[in-house]
Amino acid sequence: MGRRSLSVGTYGDIRRAKNQSGTPFAVTNYRGYDGKVIKVTRTGRTPAEAEANLKSFLAEISRTEDTAMADLKIPIVLEEWWEEYLETAKPPIGTERRYRSMIDNHIIRGLGGFSLREAKTPRVNRFLRDLVKATSPSSGSIAKAILQNMFGYAIRMGAITVNPVDGCAPIKGEVSEPKAWTIKQIGEMRAKLKAWDSGTDKRGMRRVSDLAQPSDFMLGTGCRPGETFAVRWSDIDFNAAPPTVLIHATVVKDEQFKTVIQEHTKTNRIRKLALPPFLVAQLLERRMTSLTEEVFPSSTGTVRNPDNFRTQWQNALGDGMSTFDELPKTFRSSVGTFIATESGADAARGQLGHSTVATTEKSYIAKVDVPKDLTEQLERFAQSGYKMDSRRVSDSVTESGSA
């Protein structure tokens, strides 16, 4: 009778021996989930320890369904996951670029020498902590998200059974509270931007500048700069009551770093926003002289770059106005805070285009308590039955002063 073949995921008899240098080892045949039988060996200080090490290793690889993949290096698995990620998630260009940079410049450098099997929680946790120290909590969070997904892919493929990122320490950065400008501050800023647009440069030449009206659009809608510069005249319905604008695209940089319009927003949400009267008047006047499809094009008639706008915006406000030493994101938090105060956080969420109220409250609503007018209720304390006549009040004040 021939030798009984091994079942998938099992091993045969273990044999102990010593190698030429006298080191004890234990060896056996193991049949993997690919159906192939391989010889597996482990050493130890004693024959018993060698056998224990062998059994421990066999128990580990027996828990997986793809031992070949478990022994692949991290960079190879990353590329397999990356292909699936691009196909299924279809991330925005900006996200794809940030993830790819993190993979090439940090993850491969820090973990590229290890296999999936070797990437245990302590090793991954140490990598993330070192990355945060060397860069920032934001970079650490991006790397953690990538690794979480990559190891999740390995689990789906049967190469590992536990995601090592699950046991890593949380990454917490500095929490920046959202800021909001007052009506007075916004008025001062609008006046300064308008004066800048109509002013002259250092050579005495009239500026080719268009900052005030795009800023007013962001102020009147709560849109992001990228969404503002992606708005086309076809997105505005002047015949609606009130007139509306459809926000369904944003400006990004493509693979060649060219400024283009991406036909979906950051959150893939489409929203139709009612336009306030002051903004409708501006847009109608602007429409009469516009020669481009975009409402707010660059000075050369192309798609406007939000980064360039931010630089121009800062130059216009100047260093002397520390109150406005913020990017136009504060427009959104100012709008969000105002709407939340007037109509509640969910109304602010809808206007700003967030998926959840939690996002709006965390990053776009300044922590300003505006309690309800309770003066009528508080006045009831004065009706509690204790009253002083004017003579007794005067005597009390006199006695207090004498003391």
Asked whether residue 259 falls in the same domain as residue 120, the answer is no
Question: Is residue 230 situated within a structural domain?
Answer: yes
Region 10-28 average pLDDT: 92
| pLDDT of 106 | 97
Asked whether residue 135 falls in the same domain as residue 21, the answer is no
Helices (H), ranges, 290-374 = 306-317, 329-343, 345-352, 357-363
Burial class for 20, CB neighbours closer than 10 Å (0-12, 13-18, 19+): exposed
Among 167, 202, 228, give the residue marking a domain's end.
167
Out of 56-65, 173-182, 341-350, 375-384, pick the least confident.
375-384
Whether the per-residue pLDDT at 253 is higher than 70: the answer is yes
Q: Phi/psi class of residue 88: alpha, beta or left (left: φ > 0; alpha: ψ in -120 to 50)?
A: alpha
Question: Is residue 269 situated within a structural domain?
Answer: yes
Asked whether residue 55 falls in the same domain as residue 86, the answer is no
Question: Is residue 68 situated within a structural domain?
Answer: no
The Cα 336–Cα 60 span in angstroms is 52
Domain count, the chain: 3
Among 6, 35, 62, give the residue marking a domain's end.
62
CA distances from 279 to 243, 273, 274, 275, 325 (A): 10, 12, 10, 6, 25
Asked whether residue 214 falls in the same domain as residue 286, the answer is yes
Among 340, 359, 389, give the residue marking a domain's end.
340
Region 25-46 average pLDDT: 88
Asked whether residue 322 falls in the same domain as residue 232, the answer is yes
* Residue 171, both tokens: 């990454």
Q: What is the pLDDT of residues 107-121, one digit of tens each?
A: 999 999 999 989 999
Question: Is residue 348 situated within a structural domain?
Answer: no
Out of 1-10, 209-218, 231-240, 258-267, pick the least confident.
1-10
Listed ranges 75-79, 255-259, 370-374, 375-379; the one with the highest mean pLDDT: 75-79
CATH code of 277's domain: 1.10.443.10
CATH code of 117's domain: 1.10.150.130
| pLDDT of 135 | 93
Out of 34-38, 149-153, 247-251, pick the least confident.
34-38
Question: Is residue 382 situated within a structural domain?
Answer: no
Asked whether residue 197 falls in the same domain as residue 157, the answer is no
Asked whether residue 158 falls in the same domain as residue 229, the answer is no
pLDDT category at 208 given cuts 50, 70, 90 is confident
Q: At what angle do helices 137-156 and 93-102 cross, to 10 degrees?
A: 90
Region 246-262 average pLDDT: 88
Asked whether residue 115 falls in the same domain as residue 37, the answer is no
At position 390, the amino acid (one-letter code) is S
Out of 148-157, 179-188, 361-370, pick the least confident.
361-370
Question: Is residue 351 situated within a structural domain?
Answer: no
Asked whether residue 110 falls in the same domain as residue 256, the answer is no
Whether the per-residue pLDDT at 73 is higher than 80: the answer is yes
| pLDDT of 372 | 59
Peptide bond into 178 cis (omega under 30): no
* Residue 311, both tokens: 């630089």
| pLDDT of 380 | 66
Q: If DSSP codes are grouped into helix, strand and coil, which group holds residue 91? A: coil
Question: Is residue 87 situated within a structural domain?
Answer: yes
Q: Find residue 39's DSSP bridge partners.
A: 29
Whether the per-residue pLDDT at 178 is higher than 80: the answer is no
| pLDDT of 399 | 52
| Domain enclosing residue 91, as ranges | 74-167
Asked whether residue 113 falls in the same domain as residue 22, the answer is no
| pLDDT of 204 | 78
Question: Is residue 252 situated within a structural domain?
Answer: yes
Asked whether residue 100 falls in the same domain as residue 234, the answer is no
267 or 260, which is more confident? Answer: 260
Is there a contact between 182 and 334 (Cβ–Cβ < 8 Å)? Answer: no
pLDDT category at 7 given cuts 50, 70, 90 is confident
| Cβ contacts of 267 within 8 Å, gap of 6 or more | 353, 354, 355
Q: What is the pLDDT of residues 261-277, one digit of tens each?
A: 988 887 778 889 999 99
| pLDDT of 324 | 45
Q: What is the pLDDT of residues 332-350, one digit of tens each?
A: 888 888 888 888 888 878 8
Asked whether residue 197 falls in the same domain as residue 315, the answer is yes
Whether the per-residue pLDDT at 259 is higher than 70: the answer is yes
